[in-house]
Structure 1
């Protein structure tokens, strides 16, 4: 017998996932994860018997509920495509873009006349964000002229302001205590400003940075080297054994190709991102502006305190991160006062997911 579970399918930024109210899911984590695996159709490379899109970027889940700490709690879960695994070890800033609209649609947050600010507690890391949702006449608006790279067409903008996210997963912005470390003879920067990321100059692997995701994924020697560094970096970043974790992400940085500040190719960690994750881009942008990192060494450009825009290039376009800095030239006193960016989202479907499942 199939069990109907209310859910919505939403595109958030350059990702897509299932959005659930926490009250509609089992409280037992094992039962909940079995249900989500069945809903997505995992484990199966095609996810043919579920709602997943056969790619990590389209096999994501948001669980939303009222919060004691903010307007809503948001738990992000990554449902692995080809394994019976559900991970809660990271946030997702793309799926975050749909949380505010979903919360308003579900009656968790009352809509204002023109726009509604939704304060979101990101349960995975205990950090916070404010999403500004367009709500003309008290109704969520998804149509507009905002365009983000990696998504066709235009939609209404969702401005996301991240609040004090430094070290949210690793305990410190530079969890190793250094702006650079040497791992397997390669200079790396381990940073966590919302997402644990390891930055490496692409040239250290003999790459130009212009390689496509498909080219990088086909390079087994490169993937082995990147993974070997990632496993050691995970220990240094207070993440423990990361062999079965989706963090840290690995970002190869190079000089810009299309007028941005820095170019990236990001392993997430075993596939190469067609773009770059929201919080991953914030961590990369932060490394660019702080002296001593491999990104700053690459760019050889200083940034004044105050507000600045960092344009991060990725395989399908660019990502602009607005930042406010103080003491960026001082490794021991620097402060990222604010990080914000623009995303779009769209409600694709709402109804019931039909789950064929037996709990054991």
Structure 2
């Protein structure tokens, strides 16, 4: 957790990481000083990859990852990366030093920042993920404001996000005393780990053009909804979810502002739009697959870049991101609608 006293933190997968203060979350420069002062921060570029966040925590991570007081200092990706490093998404874990819950709060810090967020009448608990995740966001934002004051007052230099997260690990006073990120080996190692985790939870900016990017954005908004045979229409889920062609027709309809209303059939969808070579695909293109090698394109998904697609696979599964590797063995048809 946070503070200026030495603690033992839980690292990714439950490994113990010795730090100056438990509850570290970091994206920092390698040593104090570093980059020139910035008015905000550089939490991330790109959007949260919702497929990487456990569905039961997604809404809370998105809500917590905002700091209006210091724009750009915090993001949902930072929140998610911190949680993985602290507890590996385990809501009941307790560290040897006594840090508790998914966000690994020490009791004294929890008294200042914890409260009941989900109205379950527990009074607020670090072992209740909604309570802990929101407290994590509040404390991050507070620290961003503190280190921003140091930068503006000439007491520290560096990127605000870096300094904010260094303060999580070593305490804000350590940032002030060292005029930037403290040159503590444990802190700097921890920072590099979080830097990598932030990338894991980030979707790079898309390059499918205005239409293709909107197709992807519409589909991403339905991640984790259940597969429902025949589910989905141009306005949203039906029966609580989507099937593969229902997701495609919804996303294309939304991206085209209702001008393109596709049939609810993967076999027909792969005959429409403009044919595209698979080596020239862009985000937002639609890919049909002949999974039985019989000329019947019975599955379809939306390409999102990086050899991945969003699709609704089959009964018992959910709308999700998947690699295209497994589908290489089957015939494809790629179509573009914008």
Query: Which has the larger Rg?
Result: 2
TM-score, normalized by the shorter chain, greater than 0.5:
no
- Give 1 or 2: higher strand fraction: 1
- Give 1 or 2: higher helix fraction: 2
* TM-score of the aligned structures, taking structure 1 as reference length: 0.23
